[in-house]
Structure 1
Amino acid sequence: MFWTVVKRAALLGALLALPLTARAEPVTYAGKLGNIDIVVEFTGDPATAGAALAGRYFYRSKGVDIPLQAKSNKGTAFQLAEEEACDAKKCGDGQAPPIAAVWRLSSSDKGKTLEGTWTAKKALPLKLTRIASRAQTETPATTPRDLYDFTDMTFSGDDAPITMAASPYDYLRLDFAPKADAKAGWPDAAYDYVTDPRTKFARPRIVDLAGGAPIEAANALLQSRHWHDSLSALSCAALRYAGFHEGPPIEGMDDGSLGGYEDSHSEVTSLTPKLMSWRESGSLFCGGAHPDNYSDAYVMDVRRGALLGLQDMFSDTVDGKPGPSLLAFVKEKRNKPSEQTEIESEAECGTDDLINDYLAASLKRDGDKQMLVFGLQGLPNVIQACGDDLLEMPASEAQALFKPEFAKLLEP
């Protein structure tokens, strides 16, 4: 898939036939380092750059950024210094990171091709083909960190689409054939879990639905979420390089850790031709004061490929939070502790107050029956231990609470 995209992208008139004055920078190239597939992003256009270029690159088999510091340029020839990963022993006292290799490249055919050598303990040939450029940021990128920060800031949430137009470098990084597990599910709705072997965690995809119900929009959303998480994991691993952050090596991140994403978990709890529900959980750390512990449930309108919040499911909500009648319903019917230690723990958490701000709902399928599950979600890290399921009941017993559109999606 990847090299098909590369070949197509190299010919895309929409990206490469733009007039020079409209051509955006930085520029992405793909090709070979020796016989290894790589993708490179430069801070400027090698065909027109007036100053030394910096960059970053990744091995396709790894996906992790490696900094390329600007070294020199002369006409169509330029050099870059590839950083070595930097732990406390090598960079703990503020010394410059060691150099792993020197890149020597020359531009030809108006920048469509770059050729040269990668020199470390041995020399290997480099051959790169221009793929596409992307829009420049408000402050032009001049260092590897600027390129890294662009990815981090642009795609840190789940909403920004990772496309060839937005970032050819990141799109090609994630356009990697995943491995699929065995199909699972119900007679009318099947799914599997797919894994990018570089980031190691599984996320669901819909395989088929009864009646030929469309799955494209739903799988597009599932893939987008998977790609964003994979990009975050790979960005964490890149922090072992000093060129991507300020200060000394980040404690706990100098070993190429994926930030805990590799141990995160996803579980489909319900799937029908109309609705899907699943839970994602884990403990993430990519520098900072503490890990991000989470366990979040999601509900999706399958046909539209759209996530549904409380306001899409229930009639009584105010600004996305439960309204008075929904709060009263949950608080009255929810599971209440009977043992003294649990009673004291709930009192310390202030569960009824938390329900006001952190109530979430999801679905669990039991045969042909849909169960409605209420829980607490999105709690601050210091009270994550207070999060738990509050109430599980047949969805048919909560019909009066639902918006008509959601009730229709629950119908067989």
Structure 2
Amino acid sequence: MSVRNLPPLVGALVFVVAAAQAEPVTYAGKIGSADIVVEFTSDPSASDGPLAGRYFYRSQGVDIPLQARPRKGRRFELAQEEVCGAEQCGNGQAAPVAAIWRLASADKGKTLEGTWNGKKTRPVKLTRISAREQTQTPASRPFDLHDFTETKFFGDDAPITMEASPYDYLRLDFAPKVGNKAGWPDASYSYVVDPRTKFAMPRIVELSGETSAEAANALLQNRHWHASLDALNCAALRYAGFYEGSPVATTDDGTLGGYEDSTSEVTSLTPQLMSWRESGSLFCGGAYPNNFSAAYTMDIRRGALLGLQDMFTDTVNGKPGPSLIAFVDKRRKKRTEPTDAGFEAECGTDELIGEYLAASVKRDGDTQRLVFGLQSLPHAIQVCGGDFLELPAADASALLKPEFARLLGQL
């Protein structure tokens, strides 16, 4: 679904959710001519108490806090925060107000109308989209809404849907820029970019035969959406209202946390199997940046990631077993120069293989090659990671699980 099709979506969804049973509530509409999406802490048509909220401009996607103000019947106000990081608001100071929203509900809460009063005054008109289930602790502040997103969608698995969070779904359902098609005669892909978060991730374009790319592209989109959401959440931390306490220096600069410079590279694609590598350096608070370079392999038909245990017969609890360790260790190129040998000894590469071995696939013409390396290492020894062995998949045929061998074209 494209963001450009929002008006029909609005009409279709206004009546889907049972009235006032689940909250917070999401509305979509405009400030002046700018498209926005707003989430309120409770239903404006059903609540007698103060309302708080958050909103984003579709062209930007970054949360902006809306603090509660006293309300009078169906009319209510919100105070939109100005940017205020640790330097100005680090000791509990209230953030300055950028604008006052004055709204009134109509048509039993299906629409909200009013004004946005900042440096200029602009009309606001919003249409109810949907509500989501309340969290265990009811939301009362912009922080609670922002924290819901971070908690609900932490990691790469939870699907971002209209049912789970209409606000976040509409934030991410943004028309991407699509790059040129690349790949092989029987399987092609392109990279797509959300222009607001700037980094590219792949989508499958065409596959020969009867294999559908639908499940695989759903997984790729979900990973892309999660990364974009993390980037946008990081950028929102320039607002004091999205902290439990005071803003923290180094997390309040409004950047995308390094996501904009992260990369994704497809290394293999066939009608059965896909491998790609994601790399970058991310920082949105904490003791140190998250430097990462991780390879992924996917069964295209199922749209499922494959771990070491899905590829090789000799694994124990997802770790390599003795024969797989011996196979890799015998064939890998070991560092012999004194400096390199010392580095390898200090890393303890032989021991790390038993704990952090990973495998992916590289396509060379019509040949599939297995690539082995170390990934997901602790921060203190990340420098010890990387690939150290590449060989034709046929050379490891005795160790392959039958289904993985079929996906590789070895059966």
TM-score (normalised: structure 2): 0.97
Shift of 1:321: 0.8
Q: Distance in 2 between matches of 1:143 and 1:247?
A: 12
Shift of 1:253: 2.7
Q: Distance in 2 between matches of 1:185 and 1:326?
A: 31
State which drifts further: 2-11 or 48-57: 2-11
Structure 1 vs Structure 2 CA RMSD: 1.3
Letter in 1 for 2:50: A
CA displacement, residues 360-393 of structure 1 (integer Å, 9 cap, x when unaligned) = 0000111111110001010011111000112110
Shift of 1:328: 1.2
Q: Distance in 1 between matches of 2:78 and 2:8?
A: 26
Shift of 1:189: 0.8
- The equivalent of 1:52 in structure 2 is 50
Shift of 1:284: 0.3
CA displacement, residues 112-152 of structure 1 (integer Å, 9 cap, x when unaligned) = 00000111121111000000000110111110000001000
Shift of 1:247: 3.7
The answer to whether the Cα contact below 8 Å between 1:375 and 1:389 also exists between their aligned partners in 2 is yes
Give 1:10-409 correspondences, 5 Å limit: 10-12=11-13, 15-16=16-17, 18=18, 20=20, 23-409=21-407
Shift of 1:272: 0.4
Letter in 2 for 1:52: P
The answer to whether the Cα contact below 8 Å between 1:83 and 1:243 also exists between their aligned partners in 2 is yes
CA displacement, residues 297-338 of structure 1 (integer Å, 9 cap, x when unaligned) = 000001111100001110111111111111111112112001
The answer to whether the Cα contact below 8 Å between 1:88 and 1:249 also exists between their aligned partners in 2 is yes
Q: Distance in 2 between matches of 1:327 and 1:81?
A: 60
Change (3 A) 1:70 1:268: same
Q: Distance in 1 between matches of 2:267 and 2:143?
A: 40
Shift of 1:3: 4.4
Shift of 1:8: 2.3
Letter in 2 for 1:4: N
- The equivalent of 2:9 in structure 1 is 8
The answer to whether the Cα contact below 8 Å between 1:240 and 1:250 also exists between their aligned partners in 2 is no
State which drifts further: 123-132 or 322-331: 322-331
CA displacement, residues 45-99 of structure 1 (integer Å, 9 cap, x when unaligned) = 0000121000000000000000000011111000000001113442233311111
Shift of 1:19: 5.2
Q: Distance in 2 between matches of 1:267 and 1:31?
A: 37
The answer to whether the Cα contact below 8 Å between 1:70 and 1:79 also exists between their aligned partners in 2 is yes
Q: Distance in 1 between matches of 2:44 and 2:15?
A: 20
Letter in 2 for 1:102: I
Q: Distance in 1 between matches of 2:390 and 2:67?
A: 56
Change (3 A) 1:35 1:29: same
Letter in 2 for 1:33: I
The answer to whether the Cα contact below 8 Å between 2:235 and 2:257 also exists between their aligned partners in 1 is yes
CA displacement, residues 252-272 of structure 1 (integer Å, 9 cap, x when unaligned) = 232210000000000000000
The answer to whether the Cα contact below 8 Å between 2:52 and 2:67 also exists between their aligned partners in 1 is yes
Letter in 2 for 1:389: D
Q: Distance in 2 between matches of 1:247 and 1:149?
A: 13
Letter in 2 for 1:104: R
TM-score (normalised: structure 1): 0.97
Shift of 1:4: 2.2
Structure 2: any 5+ residue segments left out of the alignment? none
Identity %: 68
Letter in 1 for 2:254: G
Q: Distance in 2 between matches of 1:289 and 1:19?
A: 44
Q: Distance in 2 between matches of 1:227 and 1:114?
A: 29
Letter in 1 for 2:55: Y
SS at match of 2:264: strand
Deviant stretches of 4+, over 6 Å: none
